[in-house]
Structures are given as C-alpha cells and as structure tokens.
Chain A
Amino acid sequence: MQIPYEVSSRPDTGLYNAKLGIWLFLASEVMLFGGLFSGYIFLRLGAEPGYWPHGLLNVPVGTMNTAVLILSSVTVVLAWAALKMRNWSQYRLYMLITIVCGVVFLGVKLSYEYPQKFTHFGVFIRKDSLVKYEAYLGNDFLKSRGLEPRVEISGHLLDAPKGSEYEGVAKRNAEHFTHVLHEEGVGGHGGGPVVQTEAADDFVIQLDPANARPTDPTNEHPSFLPKKQTMMTAVVKREDVESAGMFVPGHSPYFAIYFTITGLHGLHVLGGVIVFAYFFFFGGKLYKRNPEHFANRVEVAGLFWHFVDLVWIFVFPLFYLL
C-alpha cells in the first residue's frame, strides 16, 4: 500500500504530506510556547516591585548563541538547496556546520550558563528588615530616582546557617575566596572582608556588583559586558531573610520561567540536532534511492529548525535584555 503525495505535491494544495504535517505541528508548538510565554507575562506583571531581577544573564554569551543559531538556520537552507541541486558533498558540509552550531549552542548553555546560575546564591530580605541592609540595597537612592526597590542580596555564599543544606557549597566557596584574597594580598588579619561569622544563623555573601555599589547609576540598565564579582562581603541574619537559595528554578518565579522556557527550548534544539545527525550519518541510503524524498525530509526538519530559532529570538530579549 502506498500513501499518495508522500514525495510529490498534491496539485490542489501544492503540498506534500510531511510539509503540511510539520506546519500543523508548528502551529501547535506556537500555542505551546504561547502558553509558556503567557506564564512569563503573568509572573512578571504579577511580581511585586523589586522581585523581578534584571541583568542577571550574560548578554555577550547570549548574543553569541543567537548568532550561532541564526547561522545554523542559514546553513540548513543551504544544505537543502545543495540537495535540490543534487550536490551531495556540499550538502554534507552545510549539514555538518548546522550540527556543530546546534552542539555549540547546547554546550554553552549546559557547560557555562546553567552552572554559573547554579553556583550563585541570593537572599530576599523581609520587608520590615530592608532598612537594615540599606548599604547593600540603596533603596533611598533608588526611590529618589523613581526606580523599583532592591530586595535581594546576591553573590557567592561563603557561610551558611549551621545545619542548612548550603553548608557544603559555602565551605568550598569560602576556601576559594580566602585563596583569592591571599593571592591579591587584600586585607589580612583584622581589616579584610568577613568570610565566616561566629553566629550560627548568618549568611555571608560575596557580593554581586549591584549590591556592592547599590548607588552606582550603571546598575540601572543591564550592562552588555558582565561585571566582575567584587571582593566585598555582607552578613545577613537569618531572621531578616524571607527566602534564600541558589539560583535554581525554585529560587524565584524569574528563574522558574527562565529554566522552564530555556530548558524546553534546549530540548527542541537537542531534538533537531539528533534528527540532523541522523540525516548526516544515515541519509545516504534514502538519497540514493529517492533524492527528492530525502530533500523533502531535510526541508521539513529545516522548517522545524527555523521555528526553534524563532523561539530563541523571543527568548533572548525577554530574558537577557528586558
């Protein structure tokens, strides 16, 4: 039994089956990501002033990843065009570039961007304690400029309350921190930053630039180049903390939606890479038997790839820039 219009187009619709199928699938994907982005909008609009962070992501890295994905979208079209011209070796070259781009994108996400978040730590300060940490939050200054208040102190955790799940992380960070201090020759016994406290209930945090210099006007806009971690530390009492945690999905609605959307997008990239790798390594058989059918397959997968690219074009400004 042969299904009609598997390779050639149906005259009245001008489509072969798979091309219609992928467009329908993409329509469904639009609704899926539409639902996810509506979650972003809901959470962001519903966030209390100061609870939606800005400028936490690394813009140059994100920009590079955007460029990588756009390049791969071009090469996948070139690969398809090469197949249409029955130029197998050119197809192999462009398909290889596409796969490499996808792998680079995923590699950057998994080996650099995500781990950088997982090792970061932040505490949300209770409303009635905000004034105690004015030196790190700069809320009077922000208020005078008509800006949203700052309610979180973030950075690398150096000391955690006894018995909390963060003790191990804090210990490792503290060792590294004192090592760097030693190298740079900052402070010494007495005058240097606090690394550990006697109190059993304190957080000690090596501050992010925004908390170290809260009244610096350059903090008001996301900066293109990430700012260097400072060597300043802050001590936060546990009773002043509303919630605390590493920058993992459970930390705040921002990270929840960030990891959910970029994670699902990453899965889509992975799916595309697997399909392309299959075409790259095992496509020859079908190409020899029916080159048009194979070109159609690459076209359909390419349409999916463009969609994945397009989703990233929304993700990048929403999370990195706005």
Chain B
Amino acid sequence: MVSHSADAGHHEHHDDDHHELGFWRKYVFSTDHKVIGIQYGITGLLFLLFGFALMLVMRWQLAHPGTPMPYIGSFLGSLPVIKDHFPGGVMSADGYNEFGAMHGTIMVFFGIVPVAFAAFGNFAVPLQIGAPDMTFPRINMGSYWCFFISCIFMLVSFLVPGGAAKSGWTSYPPLSGIADSGVGFHQFFNGQTLWLTGMIFNITASLMGSVNFIATIIQLRAPGMTWMRMPFFVWTQFVTAFLLLLAFPPLEAAGIFQFMDRVFGTSFFMPTGLVVGQQLTHWSGGGSPLLWQHLFWFLAHPEVYVLILPGIGIIAEVVANNTRKPIYGYKAMVGAIFVLGFLSFIVWAHHMYMTGMGAKVAAFFQTTTIMISVPSVILITALLLSLWGGSIRFTVPMMFATAFLPMFGIGGLTGIPLAFNAVDMYLHDTYYIIGHFHYIVAPGTIFAIFAGVYYWFPKAAGRSMNDFLGRVHFWGSLISINGIFFPMFLQGMAGVHRRWYDGGGASLDQLTYQLAGPVLHWNKFMSYSAFLLALAQLPFIFNFFYSIFAGKRVDRNPWQSTTLEWDAPSPPPHGNFDRPVAVYRGPYEYSVPGAQSDFTPQSEVPEGKGNQAATVSAH
C-alpha cells in the first residue's frame, strides 16, 4: 500500500499491519493505547458530569427542602422508576440516599480513577517513556471493555425496581445487606446487588490496567530512559498502579462476600440476632460488619492516593514546562511517593475510630496517619518551590496547576486534625469531612485533570484548545468551587451531619444539633455556588468539542517541552514514533546555561555523540 502520509517512515518499520484497520478496530475495539486512553477519558469525563448532576439535584434539596427543583424536578418525576423517588418532583429521603451513594461511587470509581489514572496514564505513559504501545495491548482493550460493562451495570441500576444503591458509597453492612431486598425487589436485579456486580467488573478492569502499566514502565522504556530520567508523571503512575494492583483485591474479596450475603443468604457481614422492623432476619448470623469496614478501607485509603498521585504527576509536568526550570527536588519527590505508597497501606483504620476498635489500635493508626503527612508535605513543598525564580507562563494548564497547589494545601491541612482520634470523634460524618476530602479531589484532582486535558489535548487532537474559553472556565470554576466547599468547614465544625437530607431543619429540635442552627443558612450559598460551577463548565464542554474539529493546528511540540511525548507527531500514529527514539538526559532540562534554547528535549543528541545521530535523528 502506498503511503499518503507525510511521515513515510511510519510505514516502513511496521511490517505487521500494512493494512488499514477498519472503523471498528481503529476507534472502538482498538488495542492502541492512545485510543484506549481517549475512550477512558471521554467515558470518565461523562461520568464526572453525571455524578456532578446527581449532586446538583441533591444541592437543590438541601437549599430548598421539600420543593421541586425547577424544570429538573418535573423531568425526574416523569422518568420510569426514578419517579418513585421524586413524588411530585420533590426528592424523597430514599432518592437523596440513592443519589448520594451513586454520586460518591461514580465520582471515585467511574470518574476520577478512569480519567486521572487510566486515561492520562494510557495516553501519556507509553509516549513519555518512548514505547510503541503498552506491553499487553489486547489486555488493555479488555480493561476498557470490562470497565464499560461495569458502567452499564451502574447505569442500569437506576432503572431496576427500587432504584440504584442507597447505602452510601461505602456500602456498610448490615444496612447494605438488607437494603434493596424483600418484597418488590428482584433477587439479582436490584440496586445494591448490581452495585456489587458493577464494582467487581470495575476492579477486574483496574487489575488489567495496573498490570499493564507496571509491566510497560519496567519493560518498554526506550534506550537511555533510565529510572531517574523518567518524567515524574510516569513515577506517579507507577506507584498508583501498584496501589491499585494490591489494594483493590481485598475489596473484590469483600464484594464477593457481600454478594454471597445478598444472593446466597450467607452471613459474612450479618451479625447474630439481627432484627429489622421488629422481625428476626433470615440470616444465620455469626458474621462481622466490622470485617467489611476493614476490607473496604484497606482499599479505600490507598484509593485516596490513587486519586491524588496522578494529579500531582500532571501538575509536576505542567509546572516544569511553564516555569521553564527543572522541578525542585525531583529525587525527593520520587522518594516521597514511594513512602506515601507504602504508608497508605497501613493507615486505613483511621476511617474507623468510631467503631470502638480500642485505644491501642487507634493510637497505631493515628501515628501512621500523621507520618503519611510528611511525604505529602514534601510533594507540595517541592512543587511550590519549583515556582520560585521561574519565568512563569500563565497558560491555561498552568493556571489550573497554580490553583491546585493552595487548594490541595487546604485539603491536606484540614485532614491533619482528623488524624487524631479525639478530634475525629467530634468531626466524624460532619460536613467538615466532606469539605476536607472534596478539597483534595475536586479543586485538587479535578483541577489537575483539567490541567492535563488542556496540556495534552494538542498531542491527542493535533489542535489546541481555545485559550480565552479556557480562562473563563478556570476563573469561573475556581471561584464557585470555593463557594461550595469552604462553608462546609464552618458547617462541619458546628456539627452539621452529612446525611441530613432536608438540609438540617428537622434535626435542630434535638439538643445535640442545636449548635448547627446558625450555620444552616450557608446551604443556599453553597448550592448556588454549585449551580454556578455547573455554568462554568459550559465553556469547557464547548471548547473541548469545538477544538477537536476547529482548534488551532499545532506541530509536534507546541509547549516547547522536553519530554518524549512531544517528539512524536501530533496526533501520534499507531506505534507512536515515526523515528527511533533514544534518551540522553533527565526529564526537565529547561533553561540549561549555555544551551541554544530554553529547553533541551530528552532525545536531543549531546555534542560529540554525532555517530549516533545517524540512527537517532535530532531536532
């Protein structure tokens, strides 16, 4: 076949696939890591939007309890099944629980992990280490389609009798064992059982992905790409993949246990003598609800670092590129994420102080939790110091990156009091917790995701995103997102509970909650901030699709970056590089004294190595 492309070399060393792939193999059932990354990215972004929409409905209920949301309320009240939870367009308590549980599940497992880890990792990691693809391309494809099946399970669960899971994203038994069962519920097609099935598929997908990532990073680094020459983003993906590989299986075990409890009537998590509605339940008993919490948090704490580490990796890339200087303390940061990864496996029970597991156990987890703040502070400090003395370009990715630093800082610092058993007893399950972890994942990780989208979009599409719309998106998001989450700290410290579906009004009669009265008015402010945040996403959504077709065309290296992905054509062809790649230097050689330009790509052949230049073409 005669090549029509400008990169004639591309076809020369591709003996295996001279034939053009058909549409289905090229864009749908593709084994190309870039296509899979984009598939993960678009699916994940859609789920982020969906999870956000669930929350908007909940925020209306919190601001105006008992009134139908304009337009949306009557729409939801007309949908099959969902209308059961929206009598007259007003959100019921069950509906609030349903949307809340699914918001958490979707944002964590179907939004952020797929985008931050699977999408960016799949797209950028092989490019950054100079690999032609992942080590196991077909398993990679299997990973996405396994994830896709899990998405279907989650979406379908909204439409089965009784609706989707309602037991919180943590699905604590015995509540989750009883929920969605009995009269009117299908034995298998009910919210909680579908949730479990979906999670088991999701975990399998993440297993296939993480094996692939680690093997790729170990095996397929280009000649000269030594460990300490890897971009920091690759390091974060490497550690993240290990966390997913080792922390997810215990949740899979727990999911299988709960599935058995629900479908086969076992008693893994059902205690002896469980009485529901003054009726002794049918379970034999002898199980332990605490076992679920241990297995769940054994995953879910490392999961927190799964959520944040890829974000920090993206920020490091963007900061180095836009300050035009090497990131400060590269080696210390690499060390820090390894310590972080290790420690994240021994802090899980700080989510369980309220279970009464005893002071000695609490003291142990309190200590490890405080220890883990050390590597976190190393990371944030190194990134902050990287700004010092740089000639900063405030591009759109860089604006998100600079906002990330203080936002992640707020999220991290508000977590330190929670590490202490005594303080946590008071703040547990209040809005303080909600504010804390949302500062980490929303203006933290999601801002990093936006930075990554703006940063790598030109590589994926061959066109850059619109700068002005990006700035509108940034400022709108930054201001409104703080309007949502900052008042949560005020509310939380006054004792506002995270599960009040009426915004707290009905609970004020109880003596315990009278402190909450003066801060409830923030509910309206937070909700309107959330609606503004939704508005602020419109420029992004428009920009994203508009730029795919009509953005400004770019060459290989629009950001004048040093790392290897900018050595490939934009967008890179199947197999990635149109010329052999080799690496001669570290990842962030910006503003090297005496160099011709302010960036020296990793692949640039050093002076005096001219003999290799014959095989490795320089810029």
- Residues on the B chain within 8 Å of A27, using CB: 245-246
CB 8 Å contact bits of B281-296 with A (1 = contact, 0 = none): 0011111101100110
Q: How far is the CA of A13 from the CA of B227 in the complex (A)?
A: 12
| Contact residues of A between 1 and 15, Cβ < 8 Å to B | 1-5, 10, 13, 15
- In the complex, which residue of chain B has the Cβ closest to the Cβ of A124? B284
**Residues B246 and A28 in contact, CB atoms below 8 Å apart:** yes
Q: Are B135 and A21 in contact (CB under 8 A)?
A: yes
- A4-B220, A51-B286, A245-B284 given as contacts; is B249 within 8 A of A31 (CB)? yes
Q: Is A35 an interface residue (CB 8 A)?
A: yes
Q: Could you say which of B13-21, B522-530, B604-612 contacts chain A?
A: B13-21
B448 within 8 A of A: no
Any B CB within 8 A of the CB of A256: yes
- B535 contacts A by Cβ under 8 Å: no
CB-nearest residue of chain A relative to B256?
A260
Contacts of B210 in A (CB 8 A): 24, 28
Contacting residues, chain B, for A36 (C-beta < 8 A): 253, 256
Q: A107 in the interface, Cβ–Cβ < 8 Å?
A: no
User: Which residues of chain B from 405 to 446 have a CB within 8 Å of any chain A CB?
Assistant: none
Asked if B268 lies at the interface with its beta carbon under 8 angstroms from chain A, I say yes
B317 CB–A CB distance under 8 Å: no
The A145-169 residues at the B interface (CB cut-off 8 A) are none
B551 within 8 A of partner (CB) = no
Q: Which of B57-65, B257-265, B467-475, B485-493 contacts A (4 or more CB under 8 A)?
A: B257-265
A253 within 8 A of B: yes
How far is B551's CA from A247's CA once the two chains are assembled, in angstroms? 66
Contacts A32-B252, A43-B268, A43-B288 hold; do A38 and B295 have CB atoms under 8 A apart?
yes
Give CA–CA (A249, B254) in the complex, Å.
16
Stretch in B71-79, B211-219, B321-329, B335-343 with 4+ CB within 8 Å of A: B211-219
Tell me, in angstroms, the Cα distance from A243 to B265 when the chains sit together.
13
Q: Contact between B286 and A3 (Cβ–Cβ < 8 Å)?
A: no
Q: Identify which of B207, B254, B260, B272 contacts A256 (C-beta below 8 A).
A: B260
Instruction: Indicate whether A249 sits within 8 Å of B260 (C-beta atoms), given known contacts A17-B135, A20-B215, A43-B268.
Output: yes
Q: Are B284 and A251 in contact (CB under 8 A)?
A: yes
**A250 and B575 form a contact (CB under 8 A):** no
Partner of A21, one of B136, B247, B251, B286: B136
| A5 to B222 CA separation, bound complex (whole angstroms) | 12
Determine which of A2, A5, A38, A51 lies in contact with B16 in the assembled complex, contact meaning CB atoms within 8 Å.
A2
Judge if A301 is at the interface, Cβ distance under 8 Å. Answer: no
A47 located at the interface, meaning its Cβ lies under 8 Å from any Cβ of chain B in the complex = yes
Interface pair A29/B249, CB less than 8 Å apart: yes
Identify which of B137, B247, B267 contacts A250 (C-beta below 8 A).
Answer: B267
CB pair B286–A15 under 8 Å, yes or no, is no
Q: Which of A3, A250, A252 contacts B135 (CB 8 A)?
A: A3
* Residues B574 and A17 in contact, CB atoms below 8 Å apart: no
Tell me if B267 and A252 are in contact (CB < 8 A).
Answer: yes
Q: Is A226 an interface residue (CB 8 A)?
A: no
The distance from the CB of A151 to the nearest CB of chain B, in whole angstroms, is: 11
The complex places the Cα of A249 from the Cα of B285 at a distance, in Å, of: 12
- A36 vs B256: C-alpha distance when bound (angstroms): 9
B136–A17 CB distance below 8 A: yes
By size class, the interface of chain A is 35 or more
Q: Which residues of A241-267 have CB atoms within 8 Å of chain B's CB atoms?
A: 243, 245, 248-253, 255-257, 260, 264
Contact across chains for A46 and B286 when beta carbons are under 8 A apart: yes
Query: What total of A-B pairs shows CB separation below 8 Å?
Result: 150
Is residue A112 contacting chain B, with contact meaning CB distance below 8 A?
no
| Given A46-B288, A260-B256: A34 in contact with B214 (beta carbons within 8 A) | no
A25 at interface by CB-CB < 8 Å: yes
Question: Which residue of the partner chain B has the closest CB to A257?
Answer: B268
Known: A28-B211, A264-B256. A1 touches B250 (CB 8 A): no
Do A35 and B247 touch (CB < 8 A)?
Answer: no
Q: Are A24 and B215 in contact (CB under 8 A)?
A: yes
Closest to A32 in B: B249
Measured between beta carbons, the chain A residues less than 8 angstroms from B139 are 21
Residue of B14, B134, B218 near A13 (CB, 8 A) is B218
In chain B, positions 211-248 with a C-beta closer than 8 Å to chain A are 211-212, 214-215, 218-220, 245-248
Expressed in whole angstroms, the minimum distance between the Cβ of A169 and any Cβ of chain B is 17
The answer to whether A35 touches B254 (Cβ under 8 A) is: yes
CB contacts under 8 Å to A, within B268-288, are 268, 272, 283-288
- Closest B residue to A51 using CB positions: B286
- Whether B285 lies near A243 (C-beta < 8 A) is yes
Bound together, the chains give a CA A20 to CA B134 distance in angstroms of 13
A30-63 at interface with B (beta carbon < 8 Å): 31-36, 38-39, 42-43, 46-48, 51
B133 at interface, CB cutoff 8 A: yes
Instruction: Give the Cβ gap from B447 to chain A, nearest Cβ, in Å.
Output: 31
Indicate whether B547 reaches chain A with its CB closer than 8 angstroms. no
Q: In the complex, what residues of A have CB within 8 A of residue B264's CB?
A: 248-250, 256
B residues near A47, Cβ cutoff 8 Å: 286
A258: min CB distance to chain B, Å: 10
B132 CB–A CB distance under 8 Å: yes
Cβ-defined contact, B260 with A17, below 8 A: no
Q: How far is the CA of A46 from the CA of B268 in the complex (A)?
A: 11
Of the candidates A20, A32, A257, the one whose C-beta lies within 8 Å of that of B219 is A20
B376 interface hit (Cβ, 8 Å):
no
Given A28-B207, A264-B256, A252 and B218 contact (CB-CB distance below 8 Å): no
- Kindly state the separation between the CA atoms of A51 and B285 in the bound complex, as whole angstroms: 10
Find A24's partner among B17, B245, B256 (CB 8 Å cutoff): B245
B266 within 8 Å of A (CB atoms): yes
CB-based contact B253/A35 at 8 Å = yes
Q: Cβ of A250: which chain B residues have Cβ within 8 Å of it?
A: 264-267, 283-284
- Chain A nearest Cβ from B303, distance in angstroms: 14
CA distance A256 to B220 in the complex (A): 44
A253 touching B295, Cβ below 8 Å: no
Report 23 cross-chain contacts, Cβ distance below 8 Å, ordered by A residue: A1-B574, A3-B134, A4-B219, A17-B215, A21-B135, A21-B212, A28-B210, A28-B245, A32-B252, A32-B253, A34-B253, A35-B251, A35-B295, A36-B256, A38-B295, A39-B268, A43-B287, A43-B288, A47-B286, A243-B285, A250-B266, A253-B267, A253-B286
Q: Which residues of B contact A (CB under 8 A)?
A: 14-17, 131-137, 139, 207, 210-212, 214-215, 218-220, 245-254, 256-257, 260, 264-268, 272, 283-288, 290-291, 294-295, 298, 574-575
Minimum-distance CB pairs A-B, first 10? A35-B253, A250-B265, A35-B250, A256-B266, A32-B249, A31-B249, A1-B575, A17-B135, A253-B286, A42-B291
**A51-B286, A249-B265 known; 20 other A-B pairs, CB under 8 Å?**
A13-B219, A15-B219, A21-B135, A24-B215, A31-B245, A31-B247, A31-B249, A34-B253, A35-B251, A35-B295, A36-B256, A46-B286, A46-B288, A250-B265, A250-B266, A255-B266, A256-B287, A257-B268, A260-B256, A264-B256
